[in-house]
Amino acid sequence: MSESPRTAHTFELSPAELLEIRGLLTDAFDGDFADEDWDHALGGVHALYYEGGELVAHGSVIQRRVIHARRSLRIGYVEAMAVRADRRRRGLGGLVMDTLERVIDGAYEFGALSASDDGAALYRARGWQLWRGRIEALGPDGVVHLPDEEDSTYVRPAAARPLPEPSAALLFDWREGDLL
């Protein structure tokens, strides 16, 4: 593992590369990676890790808007974080997260993600913190409380910026499929 992941914005990826990423994600999530999940992963910076010319790890960070305490914040939201099943527990997820965290540090107020049970330990070990406040989304009919997301939403301060206080909710922008 001497090389760093390659970074590319979605527009820089060829159709073949996008197909390869989608295949990795479909396999890594055991087929539970919907079209909406794929759409959520696009439009930002991708970190791609290859071994022997094969893509074995991926993650992306996209911009989302979050309202907190009457302020609209631009945050980096981690999406489509996956390592091929036969390459897990070798530090590749950490290498991808190193890259994504540099993007968050340089461009956003803070980072956020929704962690699976399997992924939560990686994020906690890297200093990501479970959000202790309310999680909401601004939907077509107004604010929607997302209590099921309150035990899986993690946040990370960007470089030299404090995290918001959990006394006010994080109100995420609306999107199709899983809201977080």
C-beta separation of 124 from 30 below 8 A: no
Q: What are the tokens at 155?
A: 């946040």
pLDDT for position 99: 97
pLDDT for position 151: 92
Interatomic CA distance for residues 9 and 12, integer angstroms: 5
CATH topology of domain 6-172: Aminopeptidase (3.40.630)
31-34-35-40 Cα dihedral, nearest 10 degrees = -120
pLDDT in 10s for each residue of the chain, 180 residues:
558 899 999 999 999 999 999 999 999 999 899 999 999 999 999 999 999 999 999 999 999 999 999 999 999 999 999 999 999 999 999 999 999 999 999 999 999 999 998 889 999 999 999 999 999 999 999 999 999 999 999 999 988 888 999 999 999 999 988 888
How is the chain split into domains, by residue range?
A: 6-172
This prediction has a pTM of: 0.95
pLDDT for position 177: 87
Which CA distances in Å does 45 have to 36, 61, 96, 130, 165? 18, 5, 11, 24, 27
> What's the gap between Cα 149 and its chain centre?
14
Nearest in space to 47 (alpha carbons), one of 20, 9, 91, 88: 9
SS3 letters across the chain: CCCCCEEEEHHHCCHHHHHHHHHHHHHHCCCCCCHHHHHHHCCCEEEEEEECCEEEEEEEEEEEEEEECCEEEEEEEEEEEEECHHHCCCCHHHHHHHHHHHHHHHHCCEEEEECCCCCHHHHHHCCCEECCCCEEEEECCEEEECHHHCCCEEEEECCCCCCCCCCCCEEECCCCCCCC
C-beta separation of 81 from 94 below 8 A: no
Residue where the block lists tokens 């159709």 = 15
